[in-house]
């Protein structure tokens, strides 16, 4: 099977983490998220992948090339301007010669794509849409279905108490080539708002594939942290995660760790990490390559990227720190904060909860 992987978005909800890179390349457990996506698709027997690009396209293609090193075949299609989900797939039409998957490039899931394909074929569907239950239908677009599983209508953010269903689109589809006939080349078009409603009006066989398997998007800093917590605590699985060496205690050992330091797993360390005297690392947490945590500092459920220098007696809690940052002695970074790349946080600073610091700045 082929798949179209949609990774052209700017990742605005994840900023400042995506100022210097694309959302699909932010690290998840110290590996680019795109690598997790390839492992997931490959584990579901999908190894012929068309990647749609728009924002900072060289970031992915220069790293992954033709995909051979990851056991897949990659082709790239560029959008000069954003075309929307369906428009991006239409732009890749020349690469598609049979039924294919479409996969939003910002989700982590354990959905069995082989079972979904079997369902699609049994129904003789022109399009199949994976759905998952959500706690608050008013915050999402929901999909109403008939008793035999056919899609009846799409309802965008229904008022509280008025949603006929709590099933929401997860951003995974199986489509037949004829579905793209309803989209025009080079014209922006969305599946949810344009193409799928048109198919329903024409009486096309559009089916829902409900699932309760794990699913989350990484589109916000909160969810970006949560998916890594879930992977480290094994609430969800990643075939790539299983390849990361961990100790029996649930965390990889830092390269250098003072005997008085405390590490409470699960914690994942990159290469060449140093943990100073009296420091405490509380999981679930991730530290990238080359991080240095100085004496007496506490890292609590934080996601820290590469080459970050943390001074003495610093407290960082439930936050994300980008590449090449420096955090001065006795600084406090409170829960939900997000710090972009190359930031200098001066001695004694105090970042309030959910504060954002943009790249290349000094606080």
Measure the CA–CA gap between 102 and 202, rounded to whole angstroms.
Answer: 21
Tokens at 234, concatenated: 């094994």
Which of the residues 157, 223, 312, 356 is marked catalytic? 157
| Backbone dihedral angles phi then psi of residue 150, each to the nearest 5 degrees | -75, 145
Q: How many Å separate Cα 51 from the centre of its chain?
A: 15
SS3 121: helix
327 in Cβ contact with 344 (< 8 Å): no
- Residue 170's nearest CA partner among 200, 140, 199 is 140
| Backbone dihedral angles phi then psi of residue 269, each to the nearest 5 degrees | -110, 140
6 in Cβ contact with 88 (< 8 Å): yes
Tokens at 272, concatenated: 């060449």
- Residue 78's nearest CA partner among 97, 92, 65 is 92
- The verdict on whether 157 is a catalytic residue reads yes
User: What residues are labeled active site?
Assistant: 157
């Amino acid at each position: 099977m082929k798949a179209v992987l949609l990774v052209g978005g700017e990742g605005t909800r994840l900023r400042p983490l995506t100022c210097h890179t694309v959302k699909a390349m932010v690290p998840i457990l110290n590996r680019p998220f795109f690598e997790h996506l390839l492992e997931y698709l490959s584990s579901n027997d999908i190894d012929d992948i068309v990647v749609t690009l728009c924002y900072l396209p060289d970031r992915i293609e220069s790293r992954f090339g033709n995909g051979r090193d990851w056991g897949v075949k990659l082709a790239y299609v560029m959008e000069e301007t954003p075309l929307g989900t369906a428009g991006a797939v239409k732009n890749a039409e020349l690469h598609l010669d049979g039924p294919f998957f479409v996969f939003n490039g910002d989700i982590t899931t354990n959905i069995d794509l082989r079972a979904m394909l079997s369902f699609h074929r049994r129904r003789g569907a022109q399009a199949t849409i994976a759905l998952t239950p959500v706690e608050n239908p008013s915050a999402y677009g929901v999909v109403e279905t008939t008793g035999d599983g056919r899609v009846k209508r799409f309802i965008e953010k229904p008022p509280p108490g008025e949603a006929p269903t709590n099933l929401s689109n997860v951003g995974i589809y199986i489509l037949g080539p004829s579905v793209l006939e309803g989209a025009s080349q080079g014209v922006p078009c969305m599946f949810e708002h344009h193409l799928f409603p048109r198919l329903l009006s024409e009486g096309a066989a559009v089916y829902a594939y409900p699932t309760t398997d794990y699913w989350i998007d990484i589109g916000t800093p909160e969810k970006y942290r949560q998916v890594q917590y879930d992977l480290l605590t094994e609430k969800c699985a990643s075939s790539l995660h299983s390849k990361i060496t961990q100790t029996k205690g649930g965390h990889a050992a830092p390269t250098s760790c003072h005997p008085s330091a405390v590490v409470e797993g699960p914690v994942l360390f990159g290469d060449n990490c140093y943990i100073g005297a009296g420091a405490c690392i509380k999981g679930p947490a991730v530290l990238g390559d080359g991080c240095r945590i100085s004496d007496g500092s506490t890292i609590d459920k934080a996601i820290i990227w590469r080459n970050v220098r943390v001074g003495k007696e610093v407290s960082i809690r439930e936050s994300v720190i980008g590449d090449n940052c420096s955090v001065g002695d006795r600084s406090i970074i409170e829960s939900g904060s997000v710090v972009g790349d190359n930031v200098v946080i001066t001695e004694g600073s105090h970042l309030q909860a959910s504060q954002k610091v943009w790249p290349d700045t000094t606080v």
